[in-house]
Amino acid sequence: MAYHSLRQDGDEWTWKFTTEVFRRSNKPDEWLTMGERLVQAPGRKAIVHGGLSQLFTPESAEYVRELGGGDIPIIAVPEARHHLMLDQPLSFVTALRSVLALWDNENQAKSN
């Protein structure tokens, strides 16, 4: 996040921000196929999102499930918006630890 979100301004660092971040792509297929690409991507996946996010909503989670992502853990961090690690750092860490513990338990069950 920092590499793409901060810029040097003289001797100090400041956040980059542009309203273009919230502008929709001119390529509709990028937005329309994002959920499908997520579900079809190889490997383990988990979605940890802000419970107050306007970018990933309960409807987004439902859509991922409808696309076949029923095995993807989807965890909402309460009181967080888009930047979870800034909004609710302790809850964010707890969510990540929960996902890692779940995956570790799955690995242990497979090896037994």
Averaged pLDDT for residues 10-27: 64
Range of the domain at 16: 2-111
Q: What is the pLDDT of residue 55?
A: 87
Residue type, position 29, single letter: D
Whether the CA torsion 81, 84, 85, 90 is positive or negative: it is positive
CATH of the domain at 43: 3.40.50
Percent of the chain with pLDDT over 90: 48
User: Tens digits of per-residue pLDDT, 82-105?
Assistant: 899 999 999 999 999 999 999 999
Rounded Cα distance between 68 and 89, Å, is 30
Q: What is the pLDDT of residue 21?
A: 47
Pinpoint the alpha helices (H) of 1-57.
2-5, 28-32, 34-40
Supply 26's token pair. Answer: 């001119």
Q: What is the pTM of this model?
A: 0.71
Tell me how many domains the chain contains.
Answer: 1
84, 47, 51, 42: which is closest to 63 by C-alpha? Answer: 47
Rounded mean pLDDT of the chain?
A: 84
